[in-house]
Amino acid sequence: MVNTFSTANRIISGAGASGHLLEEINRIGATRVLFITDPFMDKIGLIDKLSVGLKEAGITSETFSKVQPDPTVHNVEEGLKKLIESKSDLIVAVGGGSPIDAAKAISIAVNNELPLSLYMGYQKIRKSGIPVIAIPTTAGTGSEVTKVTVISDTKTDVKMMIFDDHLLPEVALIDYELTLTMPAGLTAHVGIDTLTHGIEAYVSKKSSAMTDGLALSCIRLVAENLENAWNDLKNKTAREAMAMAACHGGMAFTNSSVCLVHGMSRPLGVQFHLPHGLSNAVLLPTVTKFSISGAANKYAQISKEMGFAQNTDSDEAANHNLIKGLEALNRRLKVPRLRDCKGMDEVRFHEVLHKMADDALASGSPQNNPMVPSKDEIIKLYLEAW
Ligand SMILES: NC(=O)c1ccc[n+]([C@@H]2O[C@H](COP(=O)([O-])OP(=O)(O)OC[C@H]3O[C@@H](n4cnc5c(N)ncnc54)[C@H](O)[C@@H]3O)[C@@H](O)[C@H]2O)c1
Ligand SMILES: [Fe+2]
């Protein structure tokens, strides 16, 4: 089988990596920069901090700060307007996955026909966009190194997954110091999103020797550091390791694939506005239990990497411990059951079950799962996770 591997063109990581912004703008040769971020990042003064020295270097900058969590088509349209008005030749995306995803979509929207829904699925974008420098502040989605953007269409209630090499950032500046302000809940949710990227990339039908090492590294780093970061939010060692876990997980899944957990979590996110990481976390143990027999040896390896089983344990014993271990991890990180998440409503949950299952299947992600589910099986899994 032939495999393709691609990621951000240049990755600069470590404490103070975001201080390399001016150098990277000059290397690219841009002179007009548009920062794309969310209201919180702008409010805490991060854009002002990152802008220091730009003006003196002859670089003009403007900011679009209206990206909302789980960015929408409307966010992209507004940002595109700002990009065109400002005549910017470079985008700097600052924030979690939401501003980075919005920036990637805005970048290609300027050179390609709209609506964005034309590009749902794999490699459908015709022309490259404006270069993007991505500066993540969560750890995280890994969006800074992926060829993926996820944009919600509020007219159809679909979280569109668009996957294309034209979406790859030119540069990722991964500065874990920017993640030190994350509160405990966000740390847990984005950390389990990262873990899910590692697990799904590793067991995916599209996994390869190129992605397996990165996926296992992601899993190991999460196992060793997520709880330390959650217990001690200013723990720099744990924060740095989680930033790397997010990057390795992103590089792995974008060249392998995410699978059934992500397929089922996107509809939950769009219907009930659950944060992306939380919607993955509530599904991860249930979906893993369903999928395990399709890749028993790989799941056993994951269990061992996570410290849930010994190297000498049988696959069966390791896999039993993996389910128990993932359930216990959720409990320790105070991840509620699906029914107890803020915004969940039992009547509506039943009303939209069929649409959620259809949308999960239409995204293409469940087809990469070690066990490919039918629509009825997806409905059963939602009910089991409830
Ligand atoms: N493109 C990809 O490869 C990819 C992968 C996974 C998820 N996603 C998408 O990313 C989005 C989720 O991104 P996310 O989980 O990073 O969160 P987010 O960007 O939606 O941010 C969530 C909240 O956290 C706040 N926040 C961000 N950084 C912070 C910090 N350092 N301190 C305090 N608060 C901070 C934000 O202001 C926001 O209110 C979803 O739309 C999801 O679908 C994309
Ligand atoms: Fe994710």
**pLDDT for 26 beyond 90:** yes
Sequence-ordered list of residues with C-beta below 8 angstroms from that of 331, at least 6 positions apart, any chain: none
Across residues 344-361, what is the average pLDDT? 96
DSSP per position, 283-308? HHHHHHHHHGGGGHHHHHHHHHHTTS
Q: Say whether both 144 and 215 belong to one domain.
A: no
Strand order in the sheet with 171-174: 10-13, 171-174, 132-136, 90-95, 32-36, 60-64
Q: Say whether both 264 and 320 belong to one domain.
A: yes
The number of residues making up the chain comes to 386
CB burial string 156-167: b at 16+ within 10 A, e below: eebbbbbbbebb
Q: Copy the structure tokens of residue 26.
A: 């000059």
Q: Say whether both 269 and 346 belong to one domain.
A: yes
Q: Say whether both 19 and 97 belong to one domain.
A: yes
- Quickly list H helices, 94-165: 97-109
Measure 121 CA to ligand 1 centroid, in angstroms: 21
CB 171 within 8 A of CB 8: yes
Across residues 350-369, what is the average pLDDT? 96
Judge whether 168 lies within some domain: yes
Q: Write down which residue in 179, 211, 228 finishes a domain.
A: 179
Instruction: Among 18, 40, 163, 179, say which to mutate for ligand 1: greatest number of ligand atoms within 8 Å of CB.
Output: 40
Give the pLDDT of residue 157.
86
Q: Whose CA is nearest to atom 34 of ligand 1?
A: 182
Q: Whose CA is nearest to atom 10 of ligand 1?
A: 97
Sequence-ordered list of residues with C-beta below 8 angstroms from that of 194, at least 6 positions apart, any chain: 139, 140, 141, 142, 218, 222, 226, 242, 245, 246, 249
Angle (deg, nearest 10), helices 315-332 and 296-305:
50
Q: Say whether both 336 and 218 belong to one domain.
A: yes
Judge whether 5 lies within some domain: no
- 280's enclosing H/E stretch is helix 276-291
Q: Helix, strand, coil shares of the chain as percentages rounded to 5?
A: 60, 10, 30
- 203's enclosing H/E stretch is helix 184-203
Q: Between the CA of residue 46 and those of 36, 93, 138, 181, what are the distances in Å?
A: 12, 12, 14, 12
CB burial string 192-226: b at 16+ within 10 A, e below: bbbbbbbbbbbbbebbbeebbebbbbbbbbbbbbb
Q: Say whether both 229 and 350 belong to one domain.
A: yes
Number of domains in the chain: 2
Q: Write down which residue in 164, 179, 194 finishes a domain.
A: 179
Judge whether 1 lies within some domain: no
Q: Say whether both 162 and 209 belong to one domain.
A: no
pTM over 0.85: yes
What does the alpha-carbon distance between residue 134 and residue 124 come to, in Å, rounded to a whole number?
A: 22
Ligand 1 contacts CB of residue 132 (under 6 A): no
Which of ligand 1's atoms lies nearest the C-alpha of 182? 32
Q: Copy the structure tokens of residue 105.
A: 């979509």
Q: Say whether both 172 and 199 belong to one domain.
A: no
Ligand 1 contacts CB of residue 136 (under 6 A): no
Angle at 238 between CA 20 and CA 25, to 5 degrees: 10
Across residues 275-282, what is the average pLDDT? 96
Q: Going by DSSP bridges, is the β-strand pair 148-153/171-174 parallel, antiparallel, or unpaired? A: unpaired
Q: Is the dihedral of CA 227, 228, 234, 238 positive or negative?
A: negative
Measure 276 CA to ligand 1 centroid, in angstroms: 8
Judge whether 338 lies within some domain: yes
CB 112 within 8 A of CB 162: no
Closest CA to 171 of 75, 312, 33: 33
Task: Read off the pLDDT of residues 188-244 as tens digits, 9 standing for 90 and up.
Answer: 999 999 999 999 999 999 999 999 999 999 999 999 999 999 999 999 999 999 999
What does the alpha-carbon distance between residue 48 and residue 70 come to, in Å, rounded to a whole number?
A: 24
Q: Copy the structure tokens of residue 97.
A: 């996955």
Judge whether 341 lies within some domain: yes
DSSP per position, 10-25? EEEESTTGGGGHHHHH
What does the alpha-carbon distance between residue 195 and residue 284 come to, in Å, rounded to a whole number?
A: 10
CA atoms within 13 A on the CB side of 256: 30
Q: What is the band of 72 on the pLDDT scale with cuts at 50, 70, 90?
A: very high
The mean predicted confidence, pLDDT, of the chain is: 97
Domain range for 106 is: 10-179
Q: Say whether both 53 and 80 belong to one domain.
A: yes
Q: Say whether both 210 and 134 belong to one domain.
A: no
Task: Read off the pLDDT of residues 289-315 as tens digits, 9 standing for 90 and up.
Answer: 999 999 999 999 999 999 999 999 999
Give the pLDDT of residue 215.
98
Ligand 1 contacts CB of residue 8 (under 6 A): no
What does the alpha-carbon distance between residue 162 and residue 200 come to, in Å, rounded to a whole number?
A: 18
Task: Read off the pLDDT of residues 141-178 as tens digits, 9 standing for 90 and up.
Answer: 999 999 999 999 989 888 899 999 999 999 999 999 99
Q: Say whether both 155 and 275 belong to one domain.
A: no
Q: Say whether both 326 and 355 belong to one domain.
A: yes
Ligand 1 contacts CB of residue 38 (under 6 A): yes
Task: Read off the pLDDT of residues 131-142 as tens digits, 9 standing for 90 and up.
Answer: 999 999 999 999
Judge whether 356 lies within some domain: yes
* Domain CATH code at residue 286: 1.20.1090.10
* Domain CATH code at residue 118: 3.40.50.1970
Judge whether 4 lies within some domain: no
